[in-house]
Amino acid sequence: MFLQTVPALSADTGLTVRLRQDAPIPLDAELVCRPGEVLALVGPSGSGKSTVLRSVAGLYQPGAGMVTCDGRAWFDAARKVCLAPQRREVGMVFQSYALFPHMTALGNVMAAMGHMTETERRKRALDLLAKVHLDGLEDRYPAALSGGQQQRVAVARALARDPKVLLLDEPFSAVDRATRQRLYVELAELRRELKMPTLLVTHDLEEAAILADTLCILHRGKTLQTGAPMDVKTRPDTVAVARLVDIRNIFEGVVLGHDEGEGVTYLGWQGHTFSSRLRPEFPLSAKVSWCIPASHVLLHPPNRPSRGDAENPVEGVITDMLALGETVRVEVAIGTCGASIVMPVLLHVAQRNGLKPGAEVTLTLRAEGIHLLKED
């Protein structure tokens, strides 16, 4: 469960993607998305997320690799197969929605139904618009629709083709926060009915965690880690992934020993010995990077003595407090060599406990959260 298994690239159902190229955009991406699964491609801007998506849609032709859907090759560089977008059954929602400005909402949806008769198209398009809660707005032109409504039309249009793969390119980036939250719910509802694989491109980890079954971290065109969102977010494979999933507390320690019976690996850091999940693949006495998500760091204020049962207690001094709305970002210096742990504390908690810079505190680093990282 902890070892990431590389998915076999020969699925009969669902989407498999393997792309390689050095220039102009470096690509080294591998992913599998099963029917009904939502896979979120996450990475910073310029990481190649959209290029991967466009390669699946047939809007971009990479140098080498393969894209198959339900066992059929859409792209196979070795066999010189590259189907045009029209011949790949994809439904795509563009970042800017790319609605046809001269067609009504209904017209936009019907435009993607070239494979049906006129009467079928009309009925089905109305159904789809109803499904995305746009009944009554069928005859509006895109310019007369709000951002959220436009996004819904784009989703309905993407589904209109009865696609074998649904592709969503940052579909929530152009709407306000409130609308976005509403659209999350709608998409989550909608996806219960969707039988096809869905690729969601986003730069927002939270969004990916909310909507996706699988998270795939992409960096400079390379897929670094794929797994369940919680796993990837708390147990990144490498230092690079840890940084990409926004873990700040990354340090260097030493592997002190493994206890197979207890399922524990002992880690030495700043004169402390921590217990963490068993990772026998790390050799004894080796230097190792490790991380802990802020959510696994607990703070014991100075006026309340730490409970004796605390795991991995560490003493430190608060060096900085930065108020960020409802929370405070607290930085605690550990030992004397400049290492510091960062964690968020709720504002009222910080106030109640009289936290302030210079205060001595004890931290608990929960063993569950301590995670050893491989080198990049």
Enumerate binding residues for another protein (CB under 8 A): 57-59, 84-86, 89-92, 94-96, 98-102, 111-112, 114-115, 157-158, 160-161
- Distance spanning both ends of the chain, measured CA to CA: 21
CB of 59 to another protein, least distance (A): 5
Between 50 and 234, CB nearer to another protein:
50
CB of 112 to another protein, least distance (A): 4
For residue 346, give every residue at least 6 positions away whose Cβ sits within 8 Å of its Cβ, in sequence order, or none.
326, 327, 328
Between 85 and 147, CB nearer to another protein:
85
CB of 60 to another protein, least distance (A): 10
Largest Cα separation within the chain, whole Å, is 76
Token pair, residue 216, equals 């795939």
Query: What distance in Å separates the CA atoms of residue 124 and residue 193, rounded to the nearest whole number?
Result: 15
Between 114 and 354, CB nearer to another protein:
114
Task: Yes or no: say if 150 and 108 are a contact pair by the CB < 8 Å rule.
Answer: no
CB of 123 to another protein, least distance (A): 18
CB of 125 to another protein, least distance (A): 12
Phi-psi region of 353 (alpha: psi -120 to 50; beta: other; left: phi over 0): alpha
Between 164 and 296, CB nearer to another protein:
164
Query: What distance in Å separates the CA atoms of residue 59 and residue 37, rounded to the nearest whole number?
Result: 23
Task: Yes or no: say if 2 and 163 are a contact pair by the CB < 8 Å rule.
Answer: no
Between 96 and 295, CB nearer to another protein:
96
CB of 294 to another protein, least distance (A): 38
Between 161 and 235, CB nearer to another protein:
161
Between 118 and 375, CB nearer to another protein:
118
CB of 114 to another protein, least distance (A): 5
CA-atom Rg of the chain in angstroms: 25
Query: What distance in Å separates the CA atoms of residue 250 and residue 62, rounded to the nearest whole number?
Result: 35
Q: DSSP assignment of 52-120, as one string?
A: HHHHHHTSS--SEEEEEETTEEEEETTTTEE--GGGS-EEEE-TT----TTS-HHHHHHTT-TTS-HHH
